[in-house]
Structure 1
Amino acid sequence: MDEAPGLSDQYRTASPWPVFIALGIPISELGLLFGLFPLAVGGLLLFGGSVVGMLSESGYVGSTMRALIGFSVILFGFGAALAFTDINLVARGYAVITAAALLVFGGVVFELFVREQRQDI
């Protein structure tokens, strides 16, 4: 009798990204709900980086940088809608815009330094 039926060495282990996505959403929501700038930015960075990491790991995107820019454009649009409308949510909008800018910066750093280092190995 086989102890682990249906499992073989050809399958990889489970991906860690869903856990970070599940943590990023409530952290960013708590930060946005209560107007806590660092918590909102950190949660959005965790959520955005995890979504892009999952897409990259599964092969849905060819370039991590393009995926980060696409996600950052969505965040920037949401942040601009919060910050520049008549609704009094300016600080929350600035937190989302800051997270979008930091995601683009992180993507540029990844493309310039980490990607080249990985190809040299």
Structure 2
Amino acid sequence: MEEQPGLSDQYRMSSPWPVFVALGLALSEIGVFIGLFPVAVFGLILFGGSIAGILTESGYATRPWPTLVGVGVLLVLLAALVAVLQLPTSAFTLANVGEGPLFTRLVAVVVAGAVMVAMGGAGSVVEQTKV
């Protein structure tokens, strides 16, 4: 009898990232679709960070920082595209953040993307200075 049946020596541990990917996706959906700004930002950051972590752990990326920056830039670009296509140009002021539900949700996505870009950049700088 084996000590841990069903697991080989190569795969001793299970990865925690799928749980965080699912939790981040669920929180971001709840936050964006219901309009809860902090929940949307936290959920998107958790989702993007989990994507970076799972790609790094599986060996598709050597470091998580470029992936985190990429996911953040993608979120900002998608939110900007939706804003340009769906909103009138007069809605693009900070005074309108709480006014329209779509604009407020897009701001949450942009904020989450900007935080991910900042985190990825800062992580990369800190990693390079530790050498």
Shift of 1:64: 2.2
Matched, 1:108 2:125: no
Aligned-partner residue type, residue 46 of structure 1: L
Larger mean Cα displacement after TM superposition, 107-116 or 19-28: 107-116
Q: How many Å apart are 1:2 and its aligned residue?
A: 3.3
**C-alpha displacement of 1:3:** 4.5
Aligned length: 118
Alignment of structure 1 residues 17-96 onto 2, 5 Å: 17-87=17-87, 89-96=102-109
TM-score (norm 1): 0.83
Unpaired runs of 5+ residues, structure 2, are 88-99
Q: Report deviation, 1:110.
A: 1.4
Q: Distance in 2 between matches of 1:113 and 1:48?
A: 19
Where does structure 1 lack aligned partners over 5 or more consecutive residues?
Answer: none
Offset from partner CA, 1:71-118 (integer Å, 9 cap, x none): 11211122113333335611111100000000011112211225654x
Name the SS for the 2:86 alignment partner.
Answer: coil
CA contact (8 A) 2:41 2:109 kept: yes
Displacement after TM superposition at 1:10 (Å): 4.2
Q: Which has the higher contact order (CA 8 A, sep 6+)?
A: 2
- Please point out which of 79, 102, 112 is paired with 1:99: 112
The 1:84–1:90 alpha-carbon spacing in structure 2 relative to 1, beyond 3 Å, is farther
Q: Is the 8 A contact 1:72 1:104 kept in 2?
A: yes
Change (3 A) 1:6 1:116: farther
